[in-house]
Amino acid sequence: MLNKFLDTAGYISIRLKKTKSQHLVTKLEVNGFEGLFLLDTGASNSCIRLDKENDFLLIGKKSTLQLSGAGSEKLEAKPTARSNISYKGSFILKLKFFLLDMHAINSSLSDQGSETIDGIIGADFLKRTSAIIDYKSKKLFLKV
């Protein structure tokens, strides 16, 4: 019922997968290249692993910024120019990412038996697409 209602309201649905660490992830394309992204409603900004800059054809800016994580540590991040985000070839939007060292995140996910991720989808993306998460059906609905 929700699926049909949102479909008529102009939303698309994206399949989500629950990892062993209980996180929700999905595959998205950035500049035409597929990656695995963790959905994080608490993250202000969407990020991509620093070592994936060339894999996704990202254009990183020369300056870096200090971002705060959930803990007290400061994270050094490099903003990028806008990139195209799509799902199964269908364009969703253009978005700026932050390049971030995600070694500690991926190490923790790996220790819990989960796949490593290429990036994080944060509130910037979720707000702009009026995202709705259906936890029961494991679907992300986006208005594009």
Confidence of residue 66 (pLDDT cuts 50, 70, 90): low
pLDDT in tens, 88-116: 999 999 999 999 999 999 999 999 999 99
Name the CA dihedral angle for 135, 111, 32, 127, rounded to a multiple of 10 degrees.
40
**Enclosing domain of residue 96:** 2-143
Q: Where residue 128 sits, what CATH number does that domain have?
A: 2.40.70.10
Mapping DSSP to helix (H, G, I), strand (E, B) and coil, where does residue 76 land? Answer: strand
* CA dist list (Å): 120 to 6, 9, 41, 42: 24, 26, 10, 11
What is the arithmetic mean of pLDDT over 38-50?
Answer: 96
How many distinct structural domains can be found in the chain?
A: 1
Q: Tokens in use for 123?
A: 């509130």
